[in-house]
Amino acid sequence: MPRKKTPQKDNFELDFDEASQSGQTKPLSDDDIFALKTDSGHVDEMFSDWFLDYASYVILERAVPHANDGLKPVQRRILHSMRELEDGRYNKVANVIGNTMKYHPHGDASIADAMVQLGQKELLIDMQGNWGNILTGDSAAASRYIEARLSKFALDVVFNPKTTNWLSSYDGRNKEPETLPVKFPLLLAQGAEGIAVGLSCKILPHNFVELLDGCIALLRKKKPELVPDFPSGGIADVSEYNNGRRGGRVKVRARIIARKKNVLAITELPFGKTTTSLIDSIISANEKGKIKIQRVEDNTADLVEILVYLPSGSDPNTVEQALYAFTDCELSVSTNICVIENEKPHFFSAQDLLYLATEKTRDLLQLELEIQLRELEEKWHFSSLEKIFIEKRIYRRIEEEETWEAVIATVDEGLKPYKKIFKRKITKDDLLRLLEIKIKRISKFDTFRADEQINSLEEDIEATQKNLKYLTKYAIKWFADLKKQYGKGRERKTELSSFKKVVAQDVVIANETLYVDKKEGFAGTSMKKDEAVCKCSKLDDVLAINQEGKLIVSKVSDKAFFGKNILLIDIFNRAEANAFTYCMVYRDGRTGPTLAKHFTIGGVTRDKEYDLTKGKPGSRVFYISCYLTENGEPDAVKVNLKPAPRLRKIEEVVRFVDLSVRGRGTGGNIITKNAVRNVVRLPKAERKESV
């Protein structure tokens, strides 16, 4: 027999130096195999540690935005790189990507994708060229063909090197910001989505102007109400938004307008969908028979326009509701606000995130004012020193000094009478700076202009101190000015509305026919030679009750078995399960009494068999019918008995109106213990007389 090539279990082989030279392998000894198995525990620990490191890296450095500036690391590095290249002109995106690679330790493709997505938000990047289309889903041109520069809004709001904490880049050659000093709730304005290891983030975009109004409201100790606003417009129901917390969701709809008689126009898209994906869902629903349309035209250019042509005689309102039910014209978007704060992921509500951004902006404004105050005081300090140094001719006293130390001492001595007017101590650096003033500047010194400059500095210092004292008022003015300058053209695009979920069974087109073979117990849409029951759709459920008293609910199919001798079959609507009441007469077992029950079906599980009798073998249903509970009339039946000795009464009349309506599990009321020949429904006229 040929030798098996597959090694036995635990038969490890390694290539040794001498074996590799000869092209052969040497098997491990038993001791080596034992050592490898012993070390496997250490390998498990190593993999566990590495996996945790990898998961932490993906969460902190790739997928989840930071609470301070609302940016992911790749977005932050792109903006920092663009600020480095900023000269007022457009830069090739390829050049920006190349410069960003100094900071981002990943491929150029990931940077290009992130930059295109950032640009399509139309907030931080001023674009030139084909940057794609969020409405149609068209991708951007290659990075060598498109150009970009920072928007004026980004230059005003995002950057300030004086208030930025700097870190070394991944290779230690450059400095990059830990987070950018963004003075705006950027994360809520742009939205974000990311999937990490065991963690996901989905933040819906909000309206620019409403966010600024919300910041002002928070500073005024009021509680703002935040709801999403999508760039594609559409209609949104935010009743379940839950302030953006985990578990919240927003129902979004396309805007559909009836044009002419048999034409529907989709003019706005639901969030997250493109014209291509929306049309695909409409065509798919039409092919499955859920909706009925003639054709779809896509006339989208700057604005969305998808024309849906309907067959003659169609009801536009019904088709519109069917589009919401069976296509992507209506979607449910979940929200999960997860951000990085203090080097850990945290879950917030939209209002919490707005509060963090507002407080962060307030702190940054305070820091900027403090830096500005120090700079103004330094300018005032040296301007005053310079004025005294020149006006009092202190510079002339150094002409007779022979050493540098004596020169410094002489200047210090000359300023001594005036030191009390200064707000801080005069240092040696101040003296050295005075001695660096050129003679030409001294000769052209204008006292009047110097006084004006000092007075202007004093006014600026006073104004800055006032802003620091009333910091909240200053922050409110900052947000109001931002709204005035950049809020035009950023009005709400998504209309807020309240709408109920469309029930599919209510709008589906009943373009199938249900057939039944009652004797053999089969029913379906493909049995065209058998008895027709009613019109139906592929979404409907079929309810059938057979002679043994078995009730089965199953989805409409080509052919299904419901039990032999079907007595009752119809379409079953779960939402209206209690809208019908049933009247039934049955025998309990082969020789048991005959009972009558008046009941409703209630909730059922699809494809599960239910006993409407007591479940004894040989039970038989003599009669069953149903009527509308609200305005229907219960049946009355005549139970004819088989002749028997000493049997005087050979019939019983059952009026179901006299029986209480109960659930399907009830046994019913005993009518007779004698053998039954048949059960006959009384005509309407006789039914009234019997009553």
Backbone angles phi, psi at 388, to 5 degrees: -65, -40
* C-beta separation of 272 from 330 below 8 A: no
Give the integer Cα–Cα distance in Å for 234 and 303.
12
Token pair, residue 194, equals 């990311």
Active site residue 145: yes
CA–CA distances in Å: residue 618 to residues 266, 563, 567, 648: 60, 14, 16, 27
Number of Cβ atoms within 10 Å of the Cβ of 303: 10
What residues does 517 pair with on adjacent strands? 522
Backbone angles phi, psi at 601, to 5 degrees: -75, -50
* C-beta separation of 619 from 591 below 8 A: no
Single-letter residue type at 635: D
- Listed in sequence order, the residues at least 6 apart from 186 whose beta carbon sits closer than 8 Å to its beta carbon are 69, 70, 71, 123, 124, 158, 357
CA–CA distances in Å: residue 475 to residues 154, 355, 483, 494: 18, 13, 12, 29
β-strand 192-195 against 200-203: which pairing, if any? antiparallel
Say which residue the tokens 């403090």 belong to.
370
Token pair, residue 233, equals 């417009």
* C-beta separation of 597 from 668 below 8 A: yes
Annotated catalytic residue, options 54, 57, 90, 145 = 145
Give the integer Cα–Cα distance in Å for 442 and 424.
24
Token pair, residue 111, equals 């940077």
Buried (b) or exposed (e) across 252-276, using 16+ Cβ within 10 A?
Answer: bbbbbeeeeebebbbbbbbbebbbe
Residues noted as catalytic: 145
